[in-house]
């Protein structure tokens, strides 16, 4: 089969393209961002003109929604589907779920999903005054283009919201020219878990994926937000957690004609489920971990998904974790630091095995794996096991066999499940069948 992978920014589907290529299918990979064009070199066949490959492709796969661009991938995917092409990608409205947090909450409420108290502000002073009048801890979530600057997301700690007021004042001064708006969301305590399903244009595919993001840079969930440093997860059936969130959006997604992965991150506690935000696209490194846990063909799965078939998806039955291996100055941008410490850094393996080692921002040069691009995230390392502890051991044993000067990573991926999150979710009844 012929697969065309299209990336405008950050080259986020390199490993998926590589996996499909290794399964024996023809792949062409397009990267628009000039700084990222070398990512995947030597691993995956490339193209400089993705539109010229559309008629050749049996399946077209988009990676992101292209926040801040004039035309999102949802519009492109919808246009191509209307022309008769098989596409993994969204629609303008599903793109908007991520771009416009207020719209996302409206969609959830219209379909009977509980939401956290939240308000959208376009003016910093109005937001500050709101917190002063309604004293409580809040989460600040930037809107629009700067929502990709992950370190701007701020989770309040003070019961009276005083720290949120001070952060908003600082953002007004430092980011007021770029941050055109922000969401204030009431902070809720509980277990953070994401519900992720693959949608074939009509219905969700069984099983469903449940994953736990680790967004902070340092172990213990401290430091700047990074997008994600690693993921732990498992697969299950349509339990209560799914049915009360993504399951209620199934008719809406079918009406939209959405095809691909969609994720809703939630806080849950003994009182209820509270959605935080959507990811209407692949998650990273979640897709790498999902791909690692597939026991059936990855290419066949995405072919069937894009063609509206009912894929036969066989997955690992236990637990899985993924660890992002990063280099300076990640998660920040500093060209001098990157040039001195990370650019073209060689990846050295202490064993012959490459099991569980996945590429993110990497290239292959004369048989040598090297860091590529500008982001400083060359690899993702995964592990599986019948228990989360076994998955952790396998992943970190593999990490120990990798040498890159100046590498760093979180060593606590999966520990939250072991230390009580799993027990709480089971005790609250979210992982059993719907209705129990």
CA 20/CA 298 separation, integer angstroms = 6
Phi, psi of 286 (to 5 degrees): -55, -45
CA 241/CA 433 separation, integer angstroms = 9
Tell me: the pLDDT tens digits for 55-64? 999 999 999 8
Q: Indicate if the pLDDT at residue 390 is higher than 80.
A: yes
The structure's pTM equals: 0.91
Tell me: the pLDDT tens digits for 369-381? 999 999 999 999 9
Structure letter (DSSP) for residue 146? G
Contact 224, 287 (CB under 8 A): no
How would residue 436 be classed by pLDDT, with cut points 50, 70 and 90? very low
Quick one: what percent of the chain has pLDDT higher than 70? 96
How would residue 127 be classed by pLDDT, with cut points 50, 70 and 90? very high
Quote the tokens at residue 93.
């409205």
Tell me: the pLDDT tens digits for 412-422? 999 999 999 99
Q: With b meaning 16 or more CB within 10 Å and e meaning fewer, what string describes 271-281?
A: eebbbbbbbbb
Q: Indicate if the pLDDT at residue 199 is higher than 80.
A: yes
Contact 318, 390 (CB under 8 A): yes
Whole-number pLDDT of residue 144 = 65
Contact 316, 310 (CB under 8 A): no
Contact 383, 391 (CB under 8 A): yes
Contact 294, 315 (CB under 8 A): yes
Mean local confidence (pLDDT), 186-206: 95
CA 35/CA 375 separation, integer angstroms = 9
Tell me: the pLDDT tens digits for 130-188? 999 999 999 998 876 666 666 788 889 999 999 999 999 999 988 877 787 898 989 99
CA 345/CA 342 separation, integer angstroms = 5
- CATH hierarchy code of domain 118-186: 3.30.1490
Cβ burial of 162 (10 Å; 0-12, 13-18, 19+) is: middle
- Tell me whether the omega of the peptide bond preceding residue 207 falls within 30 degrees of 0, making it cis: yes
Full 3-state SS string of 293-353: HECCCHHHHHHHHHCCCCCCCCECCCEEEEEEEECCCCCCCCHHHHHHHCCCCECEECCCC
Contact 292, 358 (CB under 8 A): yes
Quote the tokens at residue 282.
């692949």
The CATH superfamily assigned to 2-96 is: NAD(P)-binding Rossmann-like Domain (3.40.50.720)
Tell me: the pLDDT tens digits for 287-329? 999 999 999 999 999 999 999 999 999 999 999 999 999 999 9
Domain limits, the chain: 2-96, 118-186, 191-428
The CATH superfamily assigned to 191-428 is: ATP-grasp fold, B domain (3.30.470.20)
For residue 436, give Cα distances in angstroms to 348, 361, 429, 433.
50, 44, 7, 6
Contact 362, 288 (CB under 8 A): no
The alpha-helical segments, DSSP class H, found in 111-161 are 124-133
Q: Residue holding tokens 């100055």?
A: 329
């Amino acid at each position: 089969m012929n697969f065309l992978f299209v990336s405008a920014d950050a080259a986020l589907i390199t490993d998926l393209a590589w996996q499909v290529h290794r399964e024996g299918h023809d792949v062409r990979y397009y990267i628009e961002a000039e700084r990222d064009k070398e990512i995947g070199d030597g691993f995956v066949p490339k193209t400089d003109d993705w539109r010229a490959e559309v008629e050749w492709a049996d399946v077209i796969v988009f990676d992101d929604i292209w926040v801040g661009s004039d035309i999102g991938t949802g519009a492109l995917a919808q246009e191509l589907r209307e022309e008769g092409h098989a596409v993994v990608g969204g629609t303008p409205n599903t793109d908007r779920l991520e771009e416009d947090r207020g719209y996302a909450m409206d969609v959830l409420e219209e379909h009977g999903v509980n939401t956290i108290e939240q308000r959208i502000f376009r003016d910093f002073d109005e937001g500050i005054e709101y917190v002063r009048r309604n004293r409580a801890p809040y989460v600040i979530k930037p809107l629009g283009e700067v929502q990709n600057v992950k370190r701007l997301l701020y989770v309040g700690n003070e019961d009276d919201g005083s720290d949120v007021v001070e952060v908003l004042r600082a953002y007004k001064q430092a980011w007021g020219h770029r941050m055109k708006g922000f969401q204030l969301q009431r902070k809720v305590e509980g277990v953070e878990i994401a519900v992720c399903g693959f949608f074939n244009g009509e219905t969700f595919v069984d099983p469903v994926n449940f994953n736990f993001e680790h967004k902070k840079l340092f172990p213990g969930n401290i430091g700047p937000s990074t997008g994600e440093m690693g993921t732990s997860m498992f697969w299950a059936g349509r339990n209560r957690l799914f049915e009360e969130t993504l399951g209620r959006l199934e008719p809406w997604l079918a009406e939209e004609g959405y095809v691909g992965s969609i994720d809703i991150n939630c806080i849950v506690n003994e009182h209820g489920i509270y959605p935080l935000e959507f990811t209407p696209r692949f998650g990273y490194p979640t897709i790498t971990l999902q791909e690692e846990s597939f026991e059936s063909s990855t290419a066949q799965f995405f072919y069937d998904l894009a063609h509206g078939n009912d894929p036969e998806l066989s997955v690992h039955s236990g637990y899985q974790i993924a660890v992002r291996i990063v280099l300076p100055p990640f998660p920040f941008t500093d060209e001098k630091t990157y040039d001195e410490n990370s650019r073209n850094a060689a990846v050295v393996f202490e064993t012959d095995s490459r099991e569980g080692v996945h590429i993110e921002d990497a290239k292959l040069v004369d048989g040598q794996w090297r860091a590529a691009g500008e982001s400083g995230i060359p690899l993702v390392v995964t592990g599986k096991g019948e228990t989360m502890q076994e998955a952790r051991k396998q992943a970190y044993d593999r990490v120990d066999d990798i040498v890159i000067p100046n590498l760093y990573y979180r060593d606590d991926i999966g520990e939250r499940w072991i230390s009580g999150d799993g027990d709480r979710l089971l005790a609250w009844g979210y992982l059993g069948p719907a209705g129990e």
